[in-house]
Each structure stands twice: as C-alpha cells, then as structure tokens.
Structure 1
Amino acid sequence: MSEIALEAWGDHEALILKPPRSPLSIPPPRPRTAVLFPRREGFYTELGGFLPEVRLRFETYGGLSRKRDNAVLIFHALTGSAHLAGVYDEATFQSLSPLERAFGKEGWWDSLVGPGRILDPSLYYVISANHLGSCYGSTGPLSLDPRTGKPYGKDFPPLTIRDLARAQARLLDHLGVEKTTVIGGSLGGMVALEFALMYPERVRKLVVLAAPPRHGPWARAFNHLARQAILLDPEYQEGHPAPRGMALARGIAMMSYRAPEGFAARWQEAPELGEAYLDYQGEKFLKRFHAESYLVLSRAMDTHDVGRGRGGLEAALRRLRDLPALFVGIDTDLLYPAWEVREAARLAGARYREIKSPHGHDAFLIETDQVEEILEAFLP
C-alpha cells in the first residue's frame, strides 16, 4: 500500500511521486480536433436531442501497425481530458483554451504511457479523446451552435453514456481503426462497458476500472447534491460560467472520491487541514471546468444502466462472456464499492482484480504501480 510523498499535479491533486519504470518519456503531444458528425449529417442523441455538428478533441501516441491490431482506446473520468500522457511544449500549451491550460501541461495518466511502460507507444497505438459534452475541446456547452453562432450553454441537449460511446466509435472510423482494446476508469469505465456492448465486434479486450454496470442510488445521490450546489447558486442563475457553487460541488464529489483511511493518515493530527484541502480543490476547479459541462456529464452518468433495453443487468453482462474482459475494483472505494465491481465481473464471466489503497475511488489514478501490474497480466 502506497503513501503520498508529496502533493503534485493531478486531476484530483494526489499523485504519488516516484520514478517511472522507465525514465524516458514520449515527445510532446499535439492535440487534434476531428469533425466526426458534419453538418450534412448531424448527431441525434439517444434522448431525442440534436447537434448539427460534433467534434472531438483527441491525442494519439505511437502508430497503427500494418495489421491494424495494436490500438488501445482510453476513456477518461468525469473532469478529465484527451491529454492522457506527455508534457506539452510551451508553444502547444499557449495555443490551448484557458480551461485546457488550467488543466495543466502533464497528461493525467502519464506514468503509464511511454517507452518501457505498460502502454509503450512502440507497441501500441494509444488513443484518448475528450468526451462529447466536456469543455476541453470537444463539442459541448461552450461550443458555438452553428444555427445561432452563439454558445449552446444551457440549451446543450442532454446526453447518455451511449451517446459518448457512439461519438468515440466514430473517432475510430476517422483514424482507420477497426478493432481496439478499450480501457476506462470511473465515467470512462462506464463508457468502456457501453462501447463493448454496442460494438462487440470492434473490441479486442475490455478493461473496466472502478466503474459499475449501473449508476445506482448511492452514486446518483452524490451527483444530485453536487448539481444542486451549482443550480441553487445565484451566480449560476445569472449565467456565470464558474459560479461559487461549483467549488462546493467539487468538495462534495471529492468526499466520494476519497476514503476515511486516507484522510486519517494525512490529517489525523490536524483535521482542519482536510477541510482546507477540500476548499483548495474547489477553488482550483473553478478555474479549470465549466458548470454546464459538469451538469451535462454528471447527468449522463445517471443514465448509465447497461441492462436498459437489453433484458436487464444480468442479461446484458452475459453478452460479454465471449470477450476477454478485466474488471478492477478498489478496496476502499466509497463511490463504486469493490463488491459492486466484483459482482459485475462475475456476471460477465470476466477476470477480477482489486487495488489496495487508502485513497478510495481515486486510487485508479494514484496507484499507478498497481494498475500497471494488473494490466501487465492482461494486455499482452
């Protein structure tokens, strides 16, 4: 079990500082944007909405093999981005939007992608795209509606996890990838599950980290409280893009991402510092995310139920029995408890592994040594 040596950059500010398996890193990445559903076609959402055009921001690492059999598609969590790995050079960094710059120069899973690491670009063609509805370059509430020339804002249509998966499938078409290994954690794990059920012929292997097959009442309750913190804020009602309620929403979410063991280990002697940590996280969040994207994506999470329209949860998961699949739980996860992930693995006839950590749900982002060890036994 690891301990935090020093606070560093990270999506949830809790990376453990230790040398990577290889000191080599990938060249500075170049984010790209693809028009995947052009205006002549548009994108009809599962709930009946319509987007005249859909773009996804994405990054790739490595190249597609001649046999086109080495692709790995990574799905990020709720407030993640396409910037999976590497460190932006200054010119690229300055060309990004203010929110993307606030996210940081370093990729969110950088310690797993690079020469000699589990996702070695000399072996794999690694793809990571910002989800539809987000605020880091993909079509979302901040995007201009071609019909009006103004940002969608509150008029952005509601999405489901299946909408997110469908957009990512079109990205594979754009990149010439027919079949891929899919990996996702948290919200990304939900998208990975849906992708495998929607496009089984396109999935070589499936890895689901810290994600359930259905967004249940406990997880939905956390999302509800976070959204209420935003929706009831007068600043939000007046149209402010970063209302103070977002800081409270982030604090509520952080309490579901962490665990009592981690808080006790760090702040047992000075519990007020744990409170200050949540305040700090909230202040940082105001600078790097947009309220409408948070609302759109958290509501999409609440639609997640792989059994919907497939004869129920068990019937849906049984469809994965012929697919090599790995489900990874976390022993201290309060948001999606290990038993929930373990049961999904059993129903899917999949392998199950468990991360041991005091850091709760965020452990799939923090305990990268354990993640690497788990993936090493499954990916080859």
Structure 2
Amino acid sequence: MISEFIIEDFKLTSGSKTLVKTTYQQFGKALGTAPIVLINHALTGNSNVTGAQGWWSAIVGDNKVIDTQRFTILSIDVPGNGFNVNSDYTIKNYKDWQLVDVAKIQVRILEYLGVNELFAVVGGSLGGQLVWELAALKAIKIAHIIPIATDWKATDWLLANCKIQDSILNNSTNPIYDARLHAMTLYRTPRSLKQKFERERDEDSIFKVENWLSYHGNLLQNRFQLASYKLMNHLLTTANVLRNYTSIKDFAQVISADIHLVSVDSDLFFLAEDIWETYIDLCTEKDNVFISEIKSIHGHDAFLIETAQLQNILKPIFETKTHEHNHKHHIVWNR
C-alpha cells in the first residue's frame, strides 16, 4: 500500500522553505514485529522495490535475500521523483535541494512511524549516496550501512557528467530522450556494448546499438517527468557527508554501524578505485568495514544486472542474527 507523507513548511539546507509531499511503501512483516530494512531507490526508481512491478524483486521478496518473511521493508520515494504524477508533487526549484534534505525527510517519516532503529539501510547509485547521508545525520540507530555502486561524495567526474546532463535537460528540444542516451553510455561500458551488438545492423541497416539507445530514451520519456530528471540528476551532485565532519576518517570514528561497501570493477560512473579509497580511509579508523566487488563487463548497471553476485554479497549480512553480528560471515574481496 502506498502511503502519503506531507510536511507543510520544511526548511531546506539552502534556507528556503517548501511544502513537501512524498510517498512511502511497506512490505513484509508488520512494523514492530521484525527487524526493519530501509531500501533507497536510484535516479529513475521509486518505492516499488518488490512484487510484480518491483525494480528489485530479484533481491527483495518472500525467501529472497532480503526476505519479506523475516524483515519489515520500508522504501521512501525521493520527493519529486515522479512516482506520483500529480503536479502537487513536482519540484521546480530543484537547485535549492540537497541530498541531505532528502535524508532529513526520511528521518521525519521514520520518526512518524515510530522507527528509531534499522537493521540495514541499503541502496545503489543515488540511493547509496542517500544511505551515506542518512548515516551521517546519526538520527536513527543503524546496524548495517550498505551503499552499492556509489560513494559518499560527488567526484569531479560525476560532477562533470551531471553538468552535461543538466545542460541537455535544460537546452535540448527532446531533453529526457537525449539525456538518457548520454546517461546509458555512462551506465554501461565499451566491452558490454561490443559483446551485446558486435556492430550488427537491423533489417533497416541501422546499427543495433543505436536502436538500443533509442529504445531506452523512449522508454524513460514515456514514464518520467522532466522536472524529476532535473532534480534527481542535481541531487547526485550534492552528496557529501563531510558537512559536519572534518574528514571521512573523522566520520568513521563516530559511526558505530557495520559498513559494507560494494563496488563494480568496471563502473564508469562511480569508479571502483574511489570506493576502494573510501574503504582504506575507513579501515584506518574502524574495524567493522567490509568491501565486496561485483565482477562484470557491464559497468555501473551491473548492480542491477549481476543479481547472482549481489545475492552472494548480501546473503551473509541478512542471514546473520539481527542483534548478534558475527564478522566471520562477511565476504571481503581484496584486489
């Protein structure tokens, strides 16, 4: 069931005040009867994490790795993400927003639901950046922080590509379609496209890779709003958990949760080397930090494609006893 949450006069980090309308969903066990897992969606995602239309049904569901028969699953829509097409939900002043604002709204919803402790917070890409932001607020006790194919900061590479996306979204005559074409080349890799298409053409002599890009451009254009795309792309650029910390090492000293980093070795969006650098920085200050790496030719989207590998990475975390964590269950892959 989709539930609505409204904040009448929410103060953004930028200083402006705004009406916030968003939605959230609950799956699995009833609140108060089981450990709670919060799942954050990525740029074009939403709170539909499981079920027939669920974007993460391979991972979340009955007898899946994140088992709805064992856990209460919460997923909160980023305000303005387009899941509700009602114009009241649209955010036009997108550059006033920061990802930390979304994390603060998550805290408000969790407090409203009476949740003060989470077994895990997990998310990929933008959703993983939001995992970091929520942890940095220290408003909710979290046992496991699981950011996937993401980092705690917006790198120069990410900022550069989001700038290109923003320019396309604000200047193109076909903005969603054109921006998606550019984005798909970041989410995959040259090897992935070579394996998939091998320079083949269709019956009209059009390269199949071009048809594939057009398909994804049209698909997103048919289900996504321009205002949502502008907002979500902008939020990627605002990730930075060091607002209240002097360094990532300082952050590590005050976060008690187990931190499970998951990189993708071929990721061209959130580079694996940056995530491994974060791992090394955290390990100098904190023992309960772990890293796993998805091996794939498919790049950033591998966190959605390589479900078998991700299941193997997440399984030891979600099979542990909820209050007695045994570190020997962790998979840690070293380069």
Q: TM-score, normalised by structure 2?
A: 0.86
What is the aligned length? 308
Confirm or deny: 8 A CA contact 1:219 1:336 kept in the other structure: yes
CA distance in 1, matches of 2:244, 2:254: 13
Partner of 2:129: 190
1:127 is displaced (CA, Å) by 0.8
Give the letter for the 2:21 counterpart: R
Partner of 1:15: none
1:106-131 residue CA offsets vs partner (Å, 9 max, x unmatched): 11001112221111111000111111
CA distance in 2, matches of 1:210, 1:358: 14
Confirm or deny: 8 A CA contact 1:59 1:127 kept in the other structure: yes
Confirm or deny: 8 A CA contact 2:199 2:209 kept in the other structure: no
SS at match of 1:162: helix
Partner of 2:96: 158
Compared CA separation, residues 63 and 176, structure 1 to 2 (3 A) = farther
Compared CA separation, residues 182 and 43, structure 1 to 2 (3 A) = same
CA distance in 2, matches of 1:220, 1:251: 18
Confirm or deny: 8 A CA contact 1:56 1:130 kept in the other structure: yes
Partner of 1:79: 44
Farther-moved stretch of structure 1 (205-214 vs 301-310): 301-310
Q: Once the two structures are aligned, what percentage of the paired residues are identical?
A: 27
CA distance in 2, matches of 1:372, 1:46: 36
1:314 is displaced (CA, Å) by 3.5
- Matching of residue 121 in structure 1 with residue 68 in structure 2: yes
Partner of 1:329: 263
CA distance in 1, matches of 2:139, 2:11: 22
Give the letter for the 1:122 counterpart: Q
Partner of 1:173: 111
Partner of 2:217: 282
CA distance in 1, matches of 2:249, 2:73: 31
1:176 is displaced (CA, Å) by 2.0
1:65 is displaced (CA, Å) by 6.0
SS at match of 1:370: helix
CA distance in 1, matches of 2:15, 2:140: 26
SS at match of 1:74: strand
- Matching of residue 355 in structure 1 with residue 294 in structure 2: yes
Confirm or deny: 8 A CA contact 2:103 2:134 kept in the other structure: yes
Instruction: Pick the aligned partner of 1:307 from 242, 246, 255.
Output: 242
Partner of 1:3: none
Confirm or deny: 8 A CA contact 1:81 1:136 kept in the other structure: yes
Partner of 2:152: 213
Compared CA separation, residues 200 and 290, structure 1 to 2 (3 A) = same
Instruction: Pick the aligned partner of 1:70 from 35, 43, 46.
Output: 35
- Matching of residue 47 in structure 1 with residue 18 in structure 2: no
Give the letter for the 1:300 counterpart: L
Query: For 1:88-127, what aligned pairs fall within 5 Å after superposition?
Result: 106-127=53-74
SS at match of 1:131: coil
SS at match of 1:304: coil
- Matching of residue 202 in structure 1 with residue 141 in structure 2: yes
Give the letter for the 1:43 counterpart: F
SS at match of 1:206: strand
The runs of 5 or more residues in structure 1 that have no matched partner are 1-29, 88-105, 145-150, 236-243
1:224-256 residue CA offsets vs partner (Å, 9 max, x unmatched): 1111112113x5xxxxxxxx1221101111111
CA distance in 2, matches of 1:137, 1:56: 8
CA distance in 2, matches of 1:377, 1:226: 37
Partner of 2:307: 368
CA distance in 1, matches of 2:80, 2:101: 10
Confirm or deny: 8 A CA contact 2:47 2:76 kept in the other structure: yes
CA distance in 2, matches of 1:294, 1:50: 22
- Matching of residue 298 in structure 1 with residue 237 in structure 2: no
Partner of 1:32: 3
The runs of 5 or more residues in structure 2 that have no matched partner are 202-206, 284-288, 321-335
